[in-house]
Every structure is written in structure tokens, then in C-alpha cells.
């Protein structure tokens, strides 16, 4: 299985080499082989006596992360969908994309995506699952933005990236919590500990975070907005990613975690509630769309909502219906996207208002579209698979088990779901009819089309034909894959064997009446569509979640810019105020909280009068520096402070320090004089009183802080100093009587070395600043 | 004997500090920069004296270096200041 998962990405490594021959043989034909081989490999697993297969390959054993591949019925359904439709899409794209496109890029992204999808559905390790999950987001981003010269493509790619990665990160949080709670990274072992998770304190958080991940990926309300914008991708990508595979990753995730979460009542409320809401909203909005792919995008959203709702019902029949519909949806929606691509390719337009009467010009595409849309609408004809899943859906919606529900909302939801289901299905019917009849019947508007329409080449038709054959075969023999395949999938989700026979005629059950209502009301609404379509200017009217998204994006940018501009105003004064206030607030708080202030006068030396006088002189000089308006005077007065310090060093018996201080002070004064000649005179400070006040408060506060810290640290002596050691051993070890110098060059020579380095760098820096001038920049 | 020396030294130090303080008034007040420069020079000489007195008081010979250094630096500093106040530059450019 490892090889199957990574075969596409291995092939992707060689794709750029193949592009040399892309004029002779389209790269798509090579690419097709990988999913085909994988498809054949996985088909061999199908059988009535199918048992889950586990394979493990080490990756990061110390973190308990390994490529654990777990193939049960659920994964098998998805890998077959991914590889099967992947093959067809690769074939279709070989005819759809012209050789002059950047084919190698396209196929590298596509193969990357395939690997990611295989990894998502096969991984048993949650972190490996997450890695592949993000890889699908990234490769989807690349594919949506494939025509990156188009502004809409870039917008759509960014939008889908932001939303799905938001969900992905949320899911990561949920998965980490799950790992912490269960102490394992394997999904199967988590399922075994389902009761631990259900009773955990974090259950609400785990559930919410993982469900957000699933809902964003599967374009559930209100995260559905990225999918219609992702329609800027090339049509094979839309058909593959945004109808059959990636958007079902969220469905897969919910199905995978159903054995854990379905023990909670909220699972039904959230998953079914949001699912049915998505179904109704998206099918309602789909009727308004004028772009073929726009209709199909909203249709995909609503169908995903339907599957999600069925997973939430949690009954045997509902889960089976969900599994069945995953397969059905992949077949008819894939074919519909391909037909939309053909129409776009052959007429140059996807705008349904410009299309019409194409049935005679493109008879094969029209036939394929007929099967696809009627199946999607759930028309009761015995060769359409969509009808079965829709009837099962209605049936399941009538038999929701809320017997042990504690929350009133479950009851209400269970009552409302059948009506909502019928409502959503009516609109599904309306847009399906609108799609097929608006495109293929009515008057021809050839003058509005950029290309004269004609039937597509046969190669392009093969893939939709195969998918429509799938529709018809499942329609005619609905039990063909039942025992050997779909029953295993449903069992993997439900936990117990699920066997449901499917027949075209179930008798006059309520679900059948619901189908009839849908067809009749839907047909009437479709015929008189023009007379009621004005409703869309009221609901949703100008409101839409795209506006919310744009507003949020815009506002977050504006707000962060505002916040940044509010403190990053480029003024050094402002930054100093912020830095010093932060230090003050933090240190004062710590001193206050820990009772850090200490006052101990036991070991203070007596103060002599001359020390006081020198300190006083220094203080007067320092204060008058602040108020001096003459720059030379300011630097000379500052010199007094320096010399005063030197005198203090003398008094405190530090001759070396005094020497150095004197030299440095003199040089500094000289340097100041050097620089000041080139500077303008000190300006009369035009600060406001409030600014002066702030400055005063900050400087006095900071001085106070330092005083407090100095007093406290002097009063808190936790242990003796080590200076005694230096005094004793300076002569014996260092061979010198000048203890300061012995410390500088012997005991702590490394410090001195790097001080020298600092001076050297400073000297070089000054030399560089003066000598190396950019002649152009100086102008 | 030592007591007398100590008392005399301390009195000298006090006098010198007062002198420094009065000179400081001249540095701060000005009114012109040459006034300040001369005052600073005088402060330096007072510092030499103070250092010498401290050396007697401590008593140590290690501060003699300091006294000599102050003398050199004062000379250099005052020359630099004087040159600056007169010409505006301290180090002339080469005349080539």
C-alpha cells in the first residue's frame, strides 16, 4: 500500500522530463497509468469476504508517528473513487488541455494531489492523516490557481486555501487533544476507547475542532463559499477535486470518526442540522447561478450536505444510503463537470444565458448531460442511480431515531428534517432541469458564442461516457456491488454489519410519495422559473457569505494595519516610551507581587562629606544638561559628570577605573565636539505640555525603578562574593599584584578578548561609514 | 602627627570640592563657551589636587598615575576645546 500511495508522487518526479515529448504524446496519457494501476490493485481487494488490511512503515517512531495504512471498507470505497475517477480525469484532461499549456506543472500538482488523497483515506495515524490533509489543501491551491495570470483564479485559490487551512489547523488541534486523551495516535485504537473520549472533559472541544475541519473541507454551511470560487480551476480539476474527491475528504473524516462521536447527541444535531441546512441553502442558491460550473458547484455543496445529513442520522439505513450516495454522486457529478467542460471547450462560453439548443449540435454530450442531471435530480427512472439514493435519503429522514434524545432540539430537528429534505430536493430538481434544458434545448444563440459549436472529439467523451455507464449500471443493477463492496463500507462506519437490499420498487412507501412531490412541484417550478426568480433579489439579495468573507478579510487587514500604525509610528521617542514603560510595569508588578523590596542598612559604609559634595556636583551637572540649550555647553557639563565619576573612582580606591574613565571621558568629549560641529543648533523644543509631562513621568519612574532595584539587590545578599578568592590567589596563580588586571587578562581573559573585538569592529565600522560611500546614493 | 595630617588633608579636600562646585556654577552658567572651557580646565586641576590628597589620605602611591594622566588629558582637552572654539575644527585636513 505504501507504494500505491506514493506511486503518483514518484511519477510526478519524472513528469518534467516527459514534457520534452509533450508535443508528440500528451503527458496526460503517461499520467493516466499511475491511477489506473492503483485502481486495478485495489479492485483486487473487493470481495464478499473482505477483511480490513493493516500495513505499517516507520516514520518517526519516537513520537509514535508512522505510516500506518488501514484499508477497510470505507477506505476502499474512497481509494477506488480516487484512483478510478483519477484515471478518467487524466484521460479527459489529455484532450481538454492543449499541448501549449504548462502541462508538466498541471500533472505534477495533480499527482501530488492524488498521493495526498490516498494518504488521507488510508492513514490510520492521525498525524500522518493531517499531513496528507494539508497536502490536499496545498495541491488544491496550486490547481485552482493553475491559470495564475487570471485575477479570479488567484482570488479563488487564496480563498480556498485560507478556508481549508483554517479548518485543517482546527482539526490538528482536535487530533492533538484526541491523542492526549487516548494516549495513542491510531484512529482504530481511538475508536476502541470511544467511551474514554465521550466522557472526557475535552469532548466538546475535540468534537467542535474536528467537525470544523471536516466542514471546511467539505464546503458545509457557512464554509461553502470557497467552492464556487474554486471553479476558476481547469474543468478536469473541478471534476476531480471539487466534485469527487477532495470535498469528500470531510465526509470521509466524519464517517471515520462516526464510531467515536455518534455516541453524543450533539453529533446528530450538528452534523445533520448543518448538513440539511447546507442542502437547502445550496440548492436554493444554485438556481440563481448563470454559470454552468457555478450551478454544479452549488449542486456539489448541496449533495455533500445531503450525505453529511445522512451520516448524522446514524441509523443503519441512513449510513448505507450515505455510502451509496457517495458513490452515485461521484459518478454523475464527475460526468456533469466533464460535460460542462466540453460545452465550454466547444462553444467558448459557460454562461447558460448564452447557451441553448445545443442538443442537435452536440447530441452525445446532450445525452450524457441528460443522464447526469436526471440522476442528480432523483427522477424515478429505473436506470438512474440518483433516484435510489434520494429515495433512501427520504426513507432515512423519516426514520430518525431520537428515542433516547435528551435535548428538545433533537426532537424538533428530527421532525423538521423530512420537510427540509423535500424542500432541498425540489430545488435540486429545479436547477437540474434548468441546467440540462437551458443548455441543450430552446433556441440557438450561435451569434452570441465565440466559437461555432460542434461535437467534442471522441477522446474527450470517453471519460463522461464511462461515468454515465456507471450511473446506468448502478441504476439497473443497484445490488451489484452491495454485498461485496458497499456493505463493507457501511459496516466500517456503523460498526456492525449493514445489509440493505435496493430495489427500484419499494412499494407505496412514504418516501416514494415524497419523490413524487419533488418531481411534480419541481417540474412546475422549473417551468414557471422566470415568474418567481425575482425572489432572489430579496433572499439572499445583497446578503451573501462572500460579503462576510471579504469583509472579514478586509477588516482584519485594516484592523491589523491600524493596530500596527498606532504604535509603529516611526518615532524613536514613542518606542522608548513603550520599552521603558513595559520594563517599569513588569518590574514594578513583580516587585509588588513578590514583596521584592528590601531595605537593609546593616552593612552600609559611613558617608563622608566630600562624597556627598561630589555627588551633589554631579547631580547638578546632570540636571543642568537637560535644560541647557547650547550644545557645546551641554557637552561640557556632561564632561563634568564624567570627571566627577572619575573622582568617585579615586575615592573608592579604583585607580585603574579612574584612569580609563578619564581617558574615555576626554575622548568622548572630543568626539562630541567633532560631531557637533556638523550638527544644527539644538532646537527650541516645541513639545506639548502633555509630552513633556509623559517624558518626566517616564524618566522619573524609571529612575525610581532603578533606585528601588539597586537598594533591594544590595539589601538582599544570598551568598558571599567570590572576590576574596581573587584577592588571595591573584599573586600565586596570576603572578601579578594588580588584581583588576589579573582578572582582566588571566582569570577572565575571554571577556577581554571580545571587548577588544568589539572595539576593533567599532573602529572598522567607523572607517567603513566614513570611507565607503555609495557614490550614487550620495547624490 | 597622623591625626593632624588627616585633618588637614580632609579640610583641603573639602575646600577643593567647594572650589569644584563653584567652578561648576561657572560651567553651567556660562555665559560664553570660553568661560565654560576655562572653568572645565580649572575643574581638572582641582581634580589633580583632589586625587593627590586622596592618595595621602588612603595612603597609596597608585593614584600618582591618575594625577599625571589628568594633567596630560587636561592639556590635550583644553587645546582641543580652544581649537574648536576658535576654528570650529579640531583636526585640520591635510593641505595637499
- Residue found by looking up cell 472529439 in the block: A457
A551 shares a domain with A588: no
Question: Cα–Cα distances in Å, from A660 out to A126, A646, A663?
Answer: 65, 9, 5
Give the integer Cα–Cα distance in Å for A113 and A82: 10
Cell of A692: 513633556
A462 shares a domain with A329: yes
Q: Do A624 and B77 touch (CB under 8 A)?
A: no
A339 shares a domain with A307: yes
For residues A200-214, one letter each, b for 16 or more C-beta atoms within 10 angstroms of the residue's C-beta and e for the rest, the string is: beebeebbebbbbbb
| Chain B residues lying within 8 Å of A770, measured CB to CB | none
Mean pLDDT, residues A112-133: 91
Q: Give chain B's largest Cα–Cα span.
A: 64
What is the count of residue pairs from A and B with beta carbons less than 8 Å apart? Answer: 98
Mean pLDDT, residues A514-539: 81
Give the integer Cα–Cα distance in Å for A80 and A327: 10
Cell of A78: 474512497
Whether A710 has a pLDDT exceeding 60, the answer reads yes
| Chain B residues lying within 8 Å of A659, measured CB to CB | 65-66, 69
Identify the pLDDT of residue A97: 83
Mean pLDDT, residues A369-382: 84
Whether B87 has a pLDDT exceeding 80, the answer reads no
Share of chain A above pLDDT 70, in %: 95
- Is residue A710 less than 8 Å (CB to CB) from chain B? no
Whether A761 has a pLDDT exceeding 90, the answer reads yes
Which SS3 state, helix, strand or coil, does residue A238 take? Answer: helix
Give the integer Cα–Cα distance in Å for A233 and A146: 7
A56 bridge partner residues: A68
Enter the DSSP assignment of A722.
S
Give the residue from A696, A718, A740 where a domain finishes. A718
Give the integer Cα–Cα distance in Å for A635 and A304: 77
Whether A88 has a pLDDT exceeding 80, the answer reads yes
Mean pLDDT, residues A18-46: 81
Give the integer Cα–Cα distance in Å for A469 and A480: 14
Q: Do B28 and A624 touch (CB under 8 A)?
A: yes
Cell of A605: 559604609
Give the integer Cα–Cα distance in Å for A632 and A617: 19
A203 within a domain of the structure (yes/no): no
A668 shares a domain with A579: yes
Residues whose CB is less than 8 angstroms from the CB of residue A193 and which lie 6 or more positions away in sequence, other chains included: A182, A184
Give the integer Cα–Cα distance in Å for A376 and A329: 8
- CATH number of the domain at A704, please: 1.20.120
Whether A753 has a pLDDT exceeding 90, the answer reads yes
Mean pLDDT, residues A59-63: 87
Q: What's the pLDDT band for A267 if we cut at 50, 70, 90?
A: confident
Q: What's the pLDDT band for B94 if we cut at 50, 70, 90?
A: low
Q: For chain A, positions 640-669, list CB contacts with chain B under 8 A.
A: 640, 643, 646-647, 650-651, 653, 655, 658-659, 662-663, 666, 669
Average the pLDDT over each of A338-347, A613-622, B83-92 and give the range with the smallest value: B83-92
Share of chain A above pLDDT 90, in %: 15
A611 within a domain of the structure (yes/no): yes
Give pLDDT tens digits for A177-234: 999 888 888 888 888 888 888 888 888 899 999 999 999 999 888 888 888 888 888 8
Give the integer Cα–Cα distance in Å for A232 and A157: 8
Average pLDDT of chain B, as a whole number = 83
Mean pLDDT, residues A127-152: 91
Q: Do B17 and A610 touch (CB under 8 A)?
A: yes
A590 shares a domain with A518: no
Identify the pLDDT of residue A500: 67
Instruction: Count up the domains in chain A and report the number.
Output: 3
Q: Nearest CA of chain B to the CA of A701: how many Å?
A: 26
Identify the pLDDT of residue A621: 85
Q: Nearest CA of chain A to the CA of B39: how many Å?
A: 10
A654 shares a domain with A754: no
Mean pLDDT, residues A40-63: 85
A649 shares a domain with A549: no
For residues A116 and B65, which has the higher predicted lDDT (pLDDT)? Answer: A116
Give the residue from A692, A718, A744 where a domain finishes. A718
Which SS3 state, helix, strand or coil, does residue A506 take? Answer: coil
A26 within a domain of the structure (yes/no): no
What proportions of chain A, in percent to the nearest 5, are helix, strand and coil?
75, 5, 25
Cell of A267: 453529533
Query: Nearest CB to A658: which of B24, B66, B89?
Result: B66
- Whether A130 and A164 have beta carbons less than 8 Å apart is answered as no
Q: Nearest CA of chain A to the CA of B56: how many Å?
A: 11
Q: Nearest CA of chain A to the CA of B62: how many Å?
A: 7
Q: For chain A, positions 151-170, list CB contacts with chain B under 8 A.
A: none
Which of left, alpha, beta for A88 (phi over 0: left; psi -120 to 50: alpha)?
alpha
Q: Do B33 and A636 touch (CB under 8 A)?
A: yes
A291 bridge partner residues: A351
Whether A583 has a pLDDT exceeding 50, the answer reads yes
Cell of A195: 467511551
Whether A570 has a pLDDT exceeding 70, the answer reads yes
Give pLDDT tens digits for A646-686: 888 888 888 888 888 888 988 888 788 777 767 666 555 56
Identify the pLDDT of residue A193: 86
Q: Where are the beta strands (DSSP E) in A719-764?
A: none
Q: Do A647 and B51 touch (CB under 8 A)?
A: yes
Mean pLDDT, residues A379-407: 80
Residues whose CB is less than 8 angstroms from the CB of residue A675 and which lie 6 or more positions away in sequence, other chains included: none
A504 within a domain of the structure (yes/no): yes
A621 shares a domain with A523: no
Phi, then psi, of A177 in degrees rounded to 5: -60, -40
Mean pLDDT, residues A512-538: 81
Residue range(s) defining the domain that contains residue A645: 571-718
Which SS3 state, helix, strand or coil, does residue A333 take? Answer: helix
Residues whose CB is less than 8 angstroms from the CB of residue A194 and which lie 6 or more positions away in sequence, other chains included: A259, A260, A263
Whether A637 has a pLDDT exceeding 60, the answer reads yes
Whether A776 has a pLDDT exceeding 70, the answer reads no
Give pLDDT tens digits for A402-418: 766 777 788 888 888 88
Whether B96 has a pLDDT exceeding 70, the answer reads no
A597 within a domain of the structure (yes/no): yes
For helices A2-18 and A103-122, give the axis angle rounded to 10 degrees: 170
A745 shares a domain with A622: no
A125 bridge partner residues: A186
Peptide bond into B59 cis (omega under 30): yes
Question: Cα–Cα distances in Å, from A596 out to A25, A587, A589, A706?
Answer: 80, 10, 10, 13
A593 within a domain of the structure (yes/no): yes
Identify the pLDDT of residue A779: 45
In chain B, the residue whose alpha carbon lies closest to the alpha carbon of A625 is: B28
Whether A238 has a pLDDT exceeding 70, the answer reads yes
Residues whose CB is less than 8 angstroms from the CB of residue A414 and which lie 6 or more positions away in sequence, other chains included: A400, A402, A405
A768 shares a domain with A673: no
In chain B, the residue whose alpha carbon lies closest to the alpha carbon of A628 is: B28
| Chain A residues lying within 8 Å of B40, measured CB to CB | 636, 639-640
Give the integer Cα–Cα distance in Å for A31 and A9: 11
Q: What's the pLDDT band for A760 if we cut at 50, 70, 90?
A: very high
A379 shares a domain with A333: yes
A403 shares a domain with A315: yes
- Residue found by looking up cell 456503523 in the block: A494
Q: What's the pLDDT band for A582 if we cut at 50, 70, 90?
A: very high
Query: Nearest CB to A677: which of B13, B58, B88?
Result: B88
Identify the pLDDT of residue B20: 85
Identify the pLDDT of residue A210: 92
Whether A530 has a pLDDT exceeding 50, the answer reads yes
Give the integer Cα–Cα distance in Å for B19 and B8: 16
A97 within a domain of the structure (yes/no): no
Whether B30 has a pLDDT exceeding 60, the answer reads yes
In chain B, the residue whose alpha carbon lies closest to the alpha carbon of A671 is: B90
Give the residue from A700, A718, A736 where a domain finishes. A718
A436 within a domain of the structure (yes/no): yes
Q: Which of A423-437, A525-539, A613-627, A749-763 has the highest mean pLDDT?
A: A749-763
The residue among A748, A635, A733, A616 whose CA lies nearest residue A682 is: A635
Phi, then psi, of A60 in degrees rounded to 5: -130, 80
Amino acid at each position: 500500500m505504501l507504494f500505491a500511495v506514493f506511486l503518483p508522487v514518484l511519477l510526478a518526479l519524472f513528469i518534467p522530463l516527459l514534457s520534452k515529448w509533450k508535443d508528440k504524446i500528451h503527458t496526460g496519457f503517461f499520467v493516466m497509468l499511475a491511477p489506473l494501476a492503483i485502481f486495478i490493485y485495489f479492485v483486487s481487494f473487493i470481495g464478499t469476504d473482505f477483511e480490513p488490511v493493516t500495513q505499517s512503515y516507520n516514520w518517526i517512531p519516537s513520537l509514535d508517528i508512522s505510516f500506518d495504512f488501514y484499508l477497510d471498507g470505507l477506505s476502499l470505497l474512497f481509494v477506488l473513487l480516487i484512483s478510478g475517477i483519477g484515471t478518467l480525469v487524466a484521460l479527459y484532461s489529455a484532450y481538454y488541455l492543449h499541448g501549449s499549456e504548462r502541462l508538466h506543472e498541471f500533472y505534477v500538482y495533480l499527482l501530488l494531489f492524488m498521493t495526498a488523497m490516498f494518504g488521507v483515506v488510508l492513514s490510520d495515524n492521525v498525524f500522518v492523516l493531517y499531513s496528507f490533509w494539508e497536502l490536499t489543501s496545498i495541491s488544491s491551491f496550486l490547481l485552482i490557481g493553475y491559470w495564475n495570470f487570471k485575477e479570479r483564479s488567484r482570488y479563488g485559490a487564496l480563498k480556498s486555501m485560507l478556508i481549508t487551512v483554517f479548518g485543517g489547523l482546527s482539526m490538528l488541534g482536535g487530533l492533538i487533544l484526541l491523542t492526549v486523551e487516548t494516549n495513542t495516535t491510531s484512529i482504530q485504537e481511538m475508536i476502541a476507547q470511544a467511551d474514554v473520549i465521550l466522557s472526557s472533559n475535552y469532548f466538546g472541544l475535540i468534537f467542535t475542532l474536528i467537525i470544523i475541519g471536516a466542514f471546511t473541507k467539505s464546503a458545509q454551511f457557512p464554509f461553502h463559499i470557497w467552492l464556487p470560487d474554486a471553479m476558476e480551476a481547469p474543468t478536469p480539476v473541478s471534476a476531480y477535486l471539487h466534485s469527487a474527491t477532495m470535498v469528500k475528504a470531510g465526509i470521509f473524516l466524519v464517517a471515520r470518526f462516526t464510531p467515536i462521536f455518534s455516541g453524543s447527541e450533539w453529533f446528530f444535531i450538528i452534523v445533520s442540522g448543518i448538513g440539511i441546512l447546507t442542502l437547502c441553502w445550496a440548492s436554493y442558491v444554485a438556481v440563481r447561478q448563470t454559470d454552468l460550473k457555478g450551478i454544479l458547484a452549488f449542486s456539489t455543496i448541496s449533495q455533500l450536505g445531503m450525505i453529511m445529513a445522512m451520516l448524522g442520522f446514524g441509523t443503519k439505513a441512513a449510513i448505507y444510503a450515505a455510502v451509496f450516495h457517495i458513490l452515485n454522486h461521484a459518478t454523475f457529478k464527475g460526468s456533469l463537470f466533464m460535460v460542462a467542460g466540453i460545452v465550454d471547450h466547444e462553444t467558448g462560453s459557460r454562461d447558460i444565458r448564452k447557451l441553448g439548443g445545443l442538443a442537435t449540435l452536440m447530441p452525445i454530450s446532450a445525452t450524457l448531460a441528460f443522464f447526469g442531471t436526471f440522476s442528480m435530480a432523483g427522477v424515478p427512472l429505473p436506470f438512474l442511480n440518483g433516484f435510489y439514493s434520494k429515495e433512501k435519503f427520504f426513507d432515512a429522514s423519516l426514520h430518525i431515531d431520537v428515542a433516547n434524545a435528551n435535548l428538545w432540539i433533537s426532537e424538533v430537528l428530527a421532525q423538521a428534517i423530512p420537510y427540509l429534505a423535500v424542500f432541498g430536493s425540489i430545488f435540486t430538481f429545479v436547477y437540474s432541469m434548468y441546467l440540462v434544458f437551458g443548455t441543450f434545448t430552446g433556441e440557438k444563440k450561435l451569434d452570441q458564442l465565440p466559437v461555432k459549436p460542434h461535437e467534442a472529439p471522441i477522446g474527450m467523451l470517453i471519460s463522461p461516457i464511462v461515468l454515465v455507464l456507471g450511473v446506468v449500471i448502478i441504476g439497473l443493477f443497484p445490488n451489484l456491488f452491495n454485498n461485496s463492496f458497499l456493505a463493507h463500507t457501511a459496516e466500517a462506519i456503523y460498526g456492525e454489519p449493514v445489509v440493505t437490499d435496493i430495489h427500484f420498487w419499494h412499494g407505496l412507501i412514504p418516501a416514494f410519495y415524497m419523490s413524487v412531490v419533488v418531481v411534480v412541484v419541481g417540474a412546475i417550478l422549473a417551468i414557471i422559473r422566470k415568474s418567481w426568480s425575482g425572489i432572489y433579489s430579496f433572499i439572499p439579495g445583497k446578503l451573501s457569505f462572500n460579503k462576510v468573507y471579504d469583509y472579514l478579510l478586509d477588516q482584519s487587514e485594516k484592523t491589523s494595519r491600524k493596530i500596527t500604525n498606532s504604535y509603529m509610528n516611526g518615532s524613536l521617542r514613542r518606542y522608548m516610551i513603550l520599552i521603558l514603560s513595559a520594563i517599569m510595569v513588569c518590574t514594578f508588578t513583580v516587585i509588588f507581587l513578590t514583596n521584592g523590596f528590601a531595605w537593609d542598612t546593616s552593612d552600609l559604609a559611613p558617608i563622608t562629606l566630600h562624597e556627598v559634595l561630589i555627588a551633589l556636583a554631579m547631580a547638578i551637572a546632570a540636571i543642568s544638561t537637560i535644560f541647557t540649550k547650547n550644545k557645546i555647553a551641554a557637552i561640557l557639563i556632561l564632561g563634568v559628570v564624567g570627571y566627577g565619576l572619575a573622582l568617585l573612582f579615586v575615592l573608592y580606591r579604583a585607580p585603574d577605573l579612574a584612569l580609563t574613565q578619564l581617558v574615555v571621558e576626554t575622548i568622548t568629549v572630543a568626539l562630541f565636539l567633532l560631531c557637533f560641529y556638523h550638527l544644527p543648533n539644538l532646537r527650541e523644543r516645541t513639545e506639548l505640555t502633555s509630552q513633556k509631562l509623559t517624558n518626566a513621568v517616564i524618566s522619573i519612574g524609571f529612575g525610581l525603578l532603578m533606585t528601588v532595584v539597586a537598594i533591594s539587590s544590595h539589601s538582599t545578599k544570598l551568598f558571599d562574593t567570590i572576590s576574596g578568592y581573587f584577592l588571595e590567589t591573584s599573586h600565586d596563580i596570576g603572578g601579578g599584584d594588580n588584581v583588576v588586571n589579573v582578572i582582566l587578562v588571566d582569570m577572565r581573559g575571554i571577556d577581554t578578548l571580545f571587548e577588544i573585538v568589539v572595539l576593533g569592529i567599532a573602529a572598522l565600522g567607523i572607517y567603513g561609514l566614513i570611507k565607503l560611500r555609495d557614490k550614487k546614493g550620495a547624490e | 602627627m597622623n591625626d593632624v595630617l588627616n585633618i588637614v588633608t580632609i579640610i583641603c579636600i573639602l575646600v577643593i570640592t567647594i572650589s569644584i562646585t563653584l567652578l561648576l556654577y561657572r560651567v553651567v552658567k556660562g555665559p560664553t563657551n570660553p568661560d565654560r572651557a576655562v572653568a572645565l580646565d580649572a575643574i581638572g586641576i582641582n581634580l589633580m589636587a583632589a586625587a593627590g590628597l586622596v592618595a595621602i589620605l588612603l595612603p597609596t602611591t597608585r593614584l600618582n598615575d591618575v594625577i599625571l594622566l589628568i594633567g596630560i588629558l587636561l592639556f590635550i582637552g583644553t587645546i582641543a576645546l580652544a581649537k574648536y572654539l576658535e576654528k570650529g575644527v579640531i583636526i585640520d585636513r591635510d593641505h595637499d
